Amino acid sequence: MIQPDEIIRSNRRTLALSVDSFGRLIVRAPKRFPEQRIFAFIQEKEAWILRKKAERQGAGIKLPPENLNGYTLLLLGKQCTLYVVQTAKVGYDAENNAIYLPEKNPRERLIRWLKNNAKRILSEVTERTAKTMGTTYKSVNISSAKSRWGSCSGEDAIRYSFRLIYAPKEVIEYVVVHELAHTKHKNHSKAFWTEVATYVPDWKAKRKWLKLHGALMEIF
């Protein structure tokens, strides 16, 4: 029998199951809904639950523990290990794909480092790609958004979640093309997707990667 990771009771009238980005089974139930009926429903939906768990867990993404030493995250699509050591500033070893963090406030220092590098990388890619696409934009900014990887305002100001730095370079390039395409098409019309496909023919595969790795939006 599959056990739920969390049961949330409220004034809702119906029973609902969901599998979150980390493969956790969440049950939402009415306040006085009998527990035996909850487990009967879980058993009934077992095949669906197992399929969803496999999809979520297949990305191999885990939330960072309180102690970051030894934690592995994706950096530009490659596994990168964190080490908390006696150092004054964050250091990056590209050859061994390791990040060395100060013992004091390692989490805050890491997030600042990720944001700074995301800004540098995404600014460079956006500038280069805009020239290729023959378009212009107002600015590039980095946010802590967890609901979207990037956005383009009506005034062509582009914002990226700093967590995009976790993705492979080719996926980052797709998101940049996507947002720059909005400087020409302010919607997701056929013309918009034709524009995207001109520069990223396999954009559907890149979008699929982002959906599969949606849990990355929760990392830090």
Q: What is the pLDDT of residue 204?
A: 97
Handedness of CA 139, 176, 220, 3 (dihedral sign): positive
- Number of structural domains (the chain) is 2
Q: What is the pLDDT of residue 141?
A: 98
In a domain, residue 172? The reply is yes
pLDDT band of residue 59 (cuts 50, 70, 90) is low
Q: Do 99 and 191 meet the contact criterion of CB atoms below 8 Å apart?
A: no
Task: Say yes or no to pLDDT of 210 above 80.
Answer: yes
In a domain, residue 64? The reply is no
Percent of the chain scoring above 90 in pLDDT = 85
Q: What is the pLDDT of residue 131?
A: 98
Range of the domain at 143: 106-218
Cross-strand partners of 17? 27
**145 and 50 co-located in one domain:** no
Task: Say yes or no to pLDDT of 52 above 90.
Answer: no
Whole-number average pLDDT of the chain: 94
DSSP letter (8 states) at residue 4: P
Tokens representing residue 161 in the block: 């979640």
Q: Whole-angstrom Cα distance, residue 183 to residue 115?
A: 24
In a domain, residue 80? The reply is no
| 16-19 sheet: strands from edge to edge | 6-10, 25-30, 16-19
Mean pLDDT of 36-61: 85
pLDDT in tens, 90-114: 999 999 999 999 999 999 999 999 9
In a domain, residue 71? The reply is no
Mean pLDDT of 163-183: 98
Nearest to 165 by CA among 80, 60, 70: 80
For 140, counting Cβ atoms within 10 Å of its Cβ (0-12 exposed, 13-18 middle, 19+ buried), the class is: buried
pLDDT in tens, 111-155: 999 999 999 999 999 999 999 999 999 999 999 998 899 999 999
In a domain, residue 112? The reply is yes
In a domain, residue 75? The reply is no
Task: Say yes or no to pLDDT of 57 above 80.
Answer: no
Task: Say yes or no to pLDDT of 6 above 80.
Answer: yes
Handedness of CA 158, 160, 165, 166 (dihedral sign): negative
Q: What is the pLDDT of residue 58?
A: 59
In a domain, residue 86? The reply is no
Query: DSSP letters of 190-212?
Result: HHHHHHHHHH-TTHHHHHHHHHH
Q: Which of 53-62, 157-166, 185-194 has the lowest mean pLDDT?
A: 53-62
**113 and 201 co-located in one domain:** yes
